[in-house]
Amino acid sequence: MDSVFKSEERKAIEKQMGLTVINREQVAAAVIGKDKIIRDIQEFLDVMASIHYYFNAEGLAVHEESLGEKFFDLKTGYAGDVLQKLSNYNMKMAVIGEFGKYKSKSLQDFIYECNQGNCVCFKSDEEDALSALFQK
């Protein structure tokens, strides 16, 4: 993967953004650290655009803690906004967490339907999330 940024510059950007970039078979995906909180759709869009610009990343792995409760309350529309941005910019996302604790049937149905497609998936660990992101 070609990049205008040198290795040390890339590491500094990763640290500043609170993420780690993983490269496999010439495809890059960013893993957002659990401590990084994405508060709203504009911040999500900023993260998505930055990882694409700086790392040419095609995928994003996000811990459920980073998305906050608002994402998992479908009535807020936040999850729908996130999916729309992912679709518009042709980017994949894997959400990492334990989702059985959410009792909402509509949320469980949403998770199930997302896992049937190839844009967004919900996985219990980081390795499964990355495998899904790197799947062609």
How many Cα neighbours within 13 Å face the side chain of 94?
20
Close Cβ partners of 125 (under 8 Å, ≥ 6 residues apart): 96
Dihedral, 99, 77, 92, 69 alpha carbons, nearest 10: -40
Residue percentage of the chain with pLDDT more than 70: 95
Pairing status of strand 27-32 against strand 92-96: unpaired
pTM of the model: 0.90
- Helix H or strand E encompassing 8: helix 7-17
pLDDT-based confidence at 1, cuts 50/70/90?
very low
Which pLDDT score is estimated for 6?
64
